[in-house]
Each structure stands twice: as C-alpha cells, then as structure tokens.
Structure 1
Amino acid sequence: MDRRLCGAFVASVCWIACCHSDGAVVEFPDVSPCRALTSGPHEHLLASYYGINSWDRSQRYITVLRTDVKGRIPTEDDPATLALVDVRTKEFIPLTQTRAWNFQQGCMAHWLGTAPDSQIIYNDFRNGRFVSVVMDVHTKRELKVIDHPVSAVSPDGKEAVSINFARLRITRPDYGYGGDGQDARRNVQFPQDDGLFLVDLETGQARCLVSIAQVRPLVPEVPAEGIEYFNHTLFSRDGSKIFWLARAIPNRNTTSLTVNRDGSNLQRCFPDGWGGSHFDWLDGDRLMVTAAYEAKVYGHILFTVGQTDYQRLGNGLLDYDGHGTFSPDGKWMVTDTYPAGALREQKLYLMDMQTQAVLPLGRFVQPPEVKDGWRCDLHPRWSPRGDSIAFNSTYTGSRQVYVFDLTW
C-alpha cells in the first residue's frame, strides 16, 4: 500500500457505537481525518515526550522542534529550532534554538502550570552544562536559566524532576544528550550522589530525592561490567507521587518505581519479572504501565500504587507494549504500536475506560530507513480539553506532526 494513503484510514463517521459484551453501548467520538500541522522540507517533531501536554491552554499553539538531522542521533553540535505552530493557520513561529534534544523526547518542553498560556520550560546545553530555560513564548524573552535539565514538571509548575542525561547518553544513547553536560559517573554502578532530583523552579535549588544506590535492593543484580540508570519520570496528576524506571546495561533489566513527592514511600510497582516500559497516571493513585502481566503476557496494566489489583486493559486487544496515555477527564486512553509486519505499520487506538472497547484511529507506515536512534514512534498526547490528539509520524516520507480532532 502506498504509504501516502496509510494515514488516511480513520474511523471518521458521524456517530460510532458498539455493543460491549455486557450489553452496554459505547459511543465513540466523531474522529476527523488526520491533518498535518507541519510539512517538509524540514523534519518536525513534538517538543516533548509522549503524554506531555504540547498545547497552551487556549489550544491555539503547540510546541514543536525543527531539524535537518536525518539518519543519526543528534549531537551537541546539532541545534534544533524550538517553535510554536499555530494550530489554526499552521504558521511556524520560531522561539529559540536548543542543543539538548533527541528524537524520542524532544527538548522536554513543558508548559508551566502557573502560566500555561505564556511560559514554557525546556532543556538546553550552555557553557558545557545541561540546563533548563524558562521562556515567555509571546515576548520570546528568557525569564530564568536553571542549572538542572528537567525530565518532568509538577502539575502546579512549581517543581521538576531532573535526571542525568549524560549517564543516559552512555546507557540509552537515543534518550541522552551529547556534550557531557553532566558527570555521567560512568565508572560507578550505583552512585550515591546521582539519581532522581527534585528541583524548585522558583529558586533553582535541587535535592536528591532518591539516589541510584538507594534502589539497589529493589532491582535485579547488575553484571560487573554494567551500570544502573534512571529514565522516564512522571508526576501523578495531583502531584503527590513520581513514577520512573530504573534500568541497567548491558542486560537492560527494568524495575518500575514510585515515590512520594517528599521522598517517602519508595516502592516497586510490580513483582519480579514484570519489568515495565511505558506509563501514565490516571489520577493521584492509579497508574498504567505496559509490563509483562504475571511475567507472561505483555500489556497495558492498570493498578493502584501500593496494591496488587492489577488489571490488563483492552480485553486482550492491547496485549503489547504501547505508549498509552489518558484523556484529561480519564474517560479514554489512546495508545500506539511499534512498526509491525511487512508494511511496518504503526497503529493508533482509542479505548473507552469504562467498557474497554477499542476503536482504531489510523495506521501509518514507517519507512525502513527510519530506525534505531532515529526511529519515529507515534507518541500520542491529548490536548488540555481532550478534543484533539497529536502525534509524530514519518508515513509521508519525512518526520512531521499530525492531529486528530474528536467531537462527541
């Protein structure tokens, strides 16, 4: 199938309903045809990891990166342009450049909860250091430079989580940054002075919430030649807890962890062998993580932190590793797939949380040359009102940003 046609497959009918096995009728939204917000000749991607809000509160603007890097992982010598795109007119509005970015997570741009219509925070590489920068997007004026890169921002915009992106560069290169902007501590398996840091965005001060050494009793044994590292952090929706993954090289053992915002109640999410991969908070206590259910079947697992009420979502239709994320009202989950089959199709699905009925939104072919650290996951995320879903795709031959609009 011509890859230009693959993205045209959507459930675009005026009213979509299905009968669930218990007799309940599920009313799915009207889904618009997929529309592009960006186009070539440049490559574009959403400026943060999946599940992170990319829109301002009015949903007029969305944060993106523009680059001409192709076929490789970017280095500190490859600046990308951080910009806004006007969702209505598709106008590209350059803000600044950053040298701390990658194709998987962009520059981790977040709209700050204290000023969601004007201020963002993003990562950069300056004077040999990884930092985060607070900017007013309308005046394009820098308001503050913080001496710590961010990997997650609290819902109130007052604090952030910071991890070691230089250590990531040597353990998971496509998620780290080039330039040695932090001490990677490459010769220490479980450092005492590195880990999960909580940053006060007002003062710029940071404290180590959980050290890598602290999780040693909770994770699998690391071979003599390996090192443990942290990645993939996210605050709960009420800001009370933080989720993240502890992993190791060379075997990439994974442990899913949570901790309270004050550093108390550090705990694993799953029993041995379940691991973990992608994630989102449904509320302040319930969390979805893609993991190996009972160490046997990989799927989207919903549970309450500290309890063992594990539930496989999707009635068997979502038994794979996808980037699942919940709508702002918690009624829906959107998730994706990795390229599969001879066509290398990536698919988007919408699931009703009450009945777990699943609706396919679209399928997109990823060209074979898009792979490894330069790969393009769909990485869906919701708009603040829950009426749009944005994602990245290469189905037209270049990396661009797309949106589905939903109407109930």
Structure 2
Amino acid sequence: MIDRRTFLRRSGLIAAALTSGPAWISRAAERQPVRITEGPQGHWFGYYDKWQVDPSGRYALGCKVTFEGRSPEDTDRLEIGLIDLQEGHRWKTIGESLAWGWQQSCMLQWIPGSTEEVIWNDREAGGYVSRIYHIHSGQTRTLPQPVYALSPDGAFAVGTAFNRIQNLRPGYGYAGIPDPYQAQKAPDEIGLYTMDLRTGTTNHLLSLADLAHLPHAGEDVSDNWHWFNHMLVSPDSRRLLFLHRWRPEILENQQMARTGFVTRMITVDTTGKDLYVADPSGNSSHFVWKDSEHIFVWTRPVGKEAGFWLIKDKTAEMERIGAASMDRNGHNTYVPHTNEEWVLNDTYPDKERLITLYLYHVPSKRKVILGKFYSPERFFGEWRCDLHPRCDQQGRRVFFDSTHEGSRQMYSLDISDIVGT
C-alpha cells in the first residue's frame, strides 16, 4: 500500500490544485482489483445501496448462478454464499433463493448493526417471503413478506409488490408468481408497506391508487399503469424514500421496458403520513440519503440541467454536485467515515463498452478514477452487469460486480490511502 504523499506525487498533483477549485482527474496509481470469486459459475451481489460486508470487514455476501443471457424462470435457484475475505475468499453456501433478478439479486444484505444476521428474499407456498440467516448458529427464520430496503436501526424493512414490478419493469421484480392485479392500472390493494424484522408484523402504508390520484405537473396521471420501485430509509429511520413510476401502456417488447416511463421521487414518514414529492421533475434516477434531511440524486430538475443534485427533503432547496466530473448517470453512494466528503460512483458503458469506476471528493472537486472495466456485448438489457459499487462498512474497500474478465464475478479494491479511512 502506498502512503498518501506517494499517491499524490504519482498522480501528478500539486498543492495549488487542492485549493484552487477547478475539478481535476487522476488515475489511482498501480491499483489492481482483487477477484474474490471464481468461475465457471457467475457470481455477483446486486444493488449498490446495501451492506455486502459485515461490520468487522471479514465476511462478504454473494450470489452464484449457473446460467447467463436470459431472464430467470420460476425454477431457477440462486445459491447464497458467505465469503471469508481472510481465508482465501473461501465460499460457504448458506442458502438459496427462488425470488431474484439480475439487477438487484434477491435483496441479499447484512441487517444493519448486526454482526451475525443476513437477510434475503425467497419464495414458498405461492408467496414471496424473506429469510434471516444466523451465520454462527446456521439457523434460518422466515418472515411473511419480501424486503426491498432495511432501516438503518435494523428494526424494520420497507417493501412493495415484486410481481407488480416484474410485470411493468422486468428485471427488477421476480418470476414465479403472476401479478394478481395485472389487469388494473392502479390497484388499491398493493403499494408500500413496512415489516417488523423481529415479529414479521406488516403495516400497509400507501397504495398505488393513492399515488395515481396525485396529479403530476398539474395533470391527472391516474389513467396509466403504476408501480413503486427503489426504496430507502433515512439515516434516522424516520422517513421512507421511494420512486413512483407509471407508463401509458404495457410494452410487448420487454427489453424496451427500460424506457417510456415517468418517475417522481417521494418521501413519507413510517406511518404513511407527511408525504412530499421531493423531485417533481419526472426524471429521478439513482439516489442515496446523505443525511436525514438531504437526498443525493441523479435527475434533471425542472428548468435545470441533468446531473447529480443534493435536494433537501420537504423544501425546494437543491444544489448541483460534481457538475464537471459527475456528468453521467451512475450508482452513487457516500464512502463511510468520510463525513460525506467522498462519493463512490460508476458509469454505464461508453461507446467502447468501458465502465468507469471512480471516487469524487466534494469539497475539492477532485475525481480519482479507480479503473475502467470492459463490458462484453453479450451482457446487455435485463442481464447486463453494472458495477453497482459499494463500500465495506469501514469505508476502506470498494466491492463491485464486473464482467471484464469474461464472466460475472466480484472484485474488491483498497481505497483507504485515498480517502484516509
């Protein structure tokens, strides 16, 4: 590992660049990713906004699959594994799932604050459920509903109807159980719920019908096909953040279902009250909470340019972040233990099918490219492999999924010398 001074010297940086303000870009010197899984089977984790690594930094979670290049069917099982990062990346199978997709796998993640319990979604007896596995006892308990995101205090989950998502945005929901309301544009029976992670008690908060009757830009949007997607809980575990999406018709070409919909970003409290349209532009995409009041999101606000914006919840306040360096949509998070000064991000493939992985330092407007990774053409559409970069809980390493060596595998990179953790 190089020290900070050596890193700055090798990157060709001078003190004036640290204070003068203009954005600059460097490539992290001699930094090679470490592959933590091996083929021939494909391995990946899933989404960028969940804990893959336990609080100690020793164990990483992952998924294993035996095929590529098609949508999951109802009989396709996903193997769930625990990777020992201190023992040669040894893989231990801890379970399986029949409820998964290529982009977010089965919502596999560590329960926040726990060193012993992980959770993922599964299917049984004609319904979707979630499993909580204890890594030391090997025991598994089942909760009655699937999860989308967990509260940072580890007390509850937030969820929605995954078969509805699969019906309207294939690849983000699950096969195996048809949407019982597929003939209804905005059913009142499904929507947003919370579930107690200890008891499984579930509370229905908002229905699709509730949001469908909320005008958008002064216009009635109820005569569309509606669904909820992409949920997160605020750092203080008091507010929920989600995307409300709709499209005028269901597309026969499912590969085209990635486009043609409108999105608005909504916040609401954990009882379903105090609802606020945090981004009414219709363009919200990837986001993360910065703190319990601010949301860091890729969008194109009304009358403004597309980019990453810091929006204050329940106000009209917003600020563009990284205009010169983060001008492409990606999967953005904050590096832990850096006072939200460092952003971890990626891009989609460019015209040469290269995906850029990088860090961005907000105060100094510095961008550090960690690598560029080739994405073979056969990984496209629903079964593409975005990097979905995520940090460990110490903020010392980046973990990501990639196909640059020809198969879907997981990798890690040490960034501690860059961000100072």
Q: TM-score, normalised by structure 2?
A: 0.87
- Residue 320 of structure 2 aligns with an amino acid whose one-letter code is R
- Give the distance between the partners of 1:158 and 1:26, measured in 2 at CA: 42
Where has structure 1 moved over 6 Å in runs of 4 or more?
24-31
Query: Is 2:200 aligned against 1:204?
Result: yes
SS in 1 for 2:401: strand
Distance 1:270 1:205 in 2: 31
In structure 2, C-alpha distance between the alignment counterparts of 1:307 and 1:235, rounded to whole Å: 18
Residues 314-353 of structure 1 correspond to what in structure 2 (within 5 A)? 314-329=322-337, 330-341=340-351, 343-353=352-362
1:136-181 CA distance string (max 9 Å, x none) = 1233211x21110000011111100011000011101100101117
Q: Does 1:367 align with 2:376?
A: yes
1:320 deviation in Å? 2.0
- Deviation per residue, 1:230-270 (Å, 9 max, x gap): 01000111211111111113431111111122322111112
Q: 5 Å matches for 1:271-286?
A: 271-273=280-282, 275-286=283-294
Deviations 1:29-82 (A, max 9, x none): 888421111121010001x41121101111101110000121011122110110
Name the CA distance, whole Å, in 1 between partners of 2:319 and 2:169: 30
The reply on whether 1:259 has 2:256 as its aligned counterpart is: no
What's the secondary structure of 1:338's corresponding residue?
A: coil
Cα separation, partners in 2 of 1:44 and 1:157, compared to 1, 3 Å: same
Q: Deviations over 1:93-152 (max 9, x none)?
A: 1111111111100110121235x211011100111110001111233211x211100000
2:42 paired residue number: 43
CA gap 1:390/1:196 in 2 versus in 1, 3 angstroms: same
Describe the shift of the 1:30–1:238 C-alpha distance in structure 2 as closer, same or farther (beyond 3 A). farther
Counterparts of 1:130 and 1:101, CA distance in 2: 10
C-alpha distance in structure 2 between counterparts of 1:301 and 1:13, whole Å:
33
Q: In the comparison of the two structures, how many residue pairs are matched?
A: 391
Q: Secondary structure at the match of 2:204?
A: strand
Identity of aligned residues (%): 31
* Residue aligning to 2:79: 81
- Residue type at the aligned position of 1:190: A
Partner of 2:118: 120
Gaps of 5+ in 2: 250-259
CA distance in 2, matches of 1:206, 1:328: 31
Q: Which runs of 5+ in 1 are unaligned?
A: 1-10
* SS of the residue 1:14 aligns to: helix
CA distance in 1, matches of 2:153, 2:80: 23
Paired residues of 1:278 and 1:289 also in contact (CA < 8 A): yes
Q: Counterpart of 1:131?
A: 129
Q: Secondary structure at the match of 1:170?
A: helix
The equivalent of 2:257 in structure 1 is: none
SS of aligned partner of 1:303: strand
What secondary structure, in the 3-state scheme, does the structure 1 residue paired with 2:163 have?
helix
Q: CA deviation at 1:25?
A: 11
Per-residue CA distance 1:260-288 (angstroms, 9 max, x = gap): 22322111112334x20101011111111
Aligned position for 1:110: 109
Distance of 2:278 and 2:165 partners within structure 1: 22
In 2 relative to 1, CA 73–25 (structure 1 residues): closer, same or farther, beyond 3 Å?
closer
Report the more deviating stretch, 11-20 or 284-293.
Answer: 11-20
CA contact (8 A) 1:345 1:364 kept: yes
Any idea what SS the aligned residue of 1:173 has? coil
Identify the range of structure 1 (233-242 vs 260-269) with the bigger mean alpha-carbon deviation.
Answer: 260-269
Q: Which residue of 1 aligns with 2:255?
A: none
Residue type at the aligned position of 1:172: R
Q: 1:187 to 1:396 in 2, by over 3 A?
A: same
Q: Decide whether the 8 Å contact of 2:25 with 2:368 is kept in 1.
A: no
Determine which of 154, 158, 161 is the counterpart of 2:158. Answer: 161
Are 1:294 and 2:302 counterparts?
Answer: yes
Could you say which residue in structure 1 is the equivalent of 2:147?
Answer: 150
**Residue in 1 that maps onto 2:244:** 246
Note if 1:387 corresponds to 2:396. yes
Counterparts of 1:30 and 1:265, CA distance in 2: 48
2: CA distance between counterparts of 1:318 and 1:338? 12
For 2:7, what is the secondary structure of its paired residue? coil
| Residue from 168, 172, 181 that aligns with 1:171 | 168
**Structure 2 residue 415 is the aligned partner of structure 1 residue 406:** yes
Q: Which amino acid aligns with 2:7?
A: C
Q: Residue 92 of structure 1 corresponds to which residue in structure 2?
A: 91
Given that residues 31 and 370 in structure 2 are in contact (C-alpha distance below 8 angstroms), is that contact kept between their aligned partners in structure 1? Answer: no
RMSD: 2.4
Segment drifting more, 385-394 vs 21-30: 21-30
Residues of 2 paired with 1:129 and 1:154: CA distance?
23
CA shift for structure 1 position 356: 2.6
Is residue 364–residue 393 contact of structure 1 (8 Å, CA) maintained in 2?
yes
Report the CA distance shift for 1:70/1:284 in structure 2 as closer, same or farther (over 3 A): same
For 2:242 and 2:153, the matched residues in 1 are separated by 19
Would you say the 8 A contact 1:276–1:292 is kept in 2? yes
Cα distance in 2 between the residues matched to 1:260 and 1:39 = 43
Q: Which amino acid aligns with 1:52?
A: K
Return the alpha-carbon distance in structure 2 between the equivalents of residues 65 and 139 of structure 1: 21
SS at match of 2:210: helix
SS of 2:300 mapped into structure 1: strand
State the Cα distance separating 1:210 from its structure 2 match. Answer: 1.7
Instruction: Report the counterpart of residue 14 of structure 1 in structure 2.
Output: 7
Measure the CA separation in 2 of the matches of 1:221 and 1:23. Answer: 45
Write the letter of the residue equivalent to 2:348. Answer: Y
Q: Which residue identity lines up with residue 205 of structure 1 in the other structure?
A: T
Q: Which amino acid aligns with 1:63?
A: L
Contact 2:21-2:365 within 8 A present in 1 as well: no
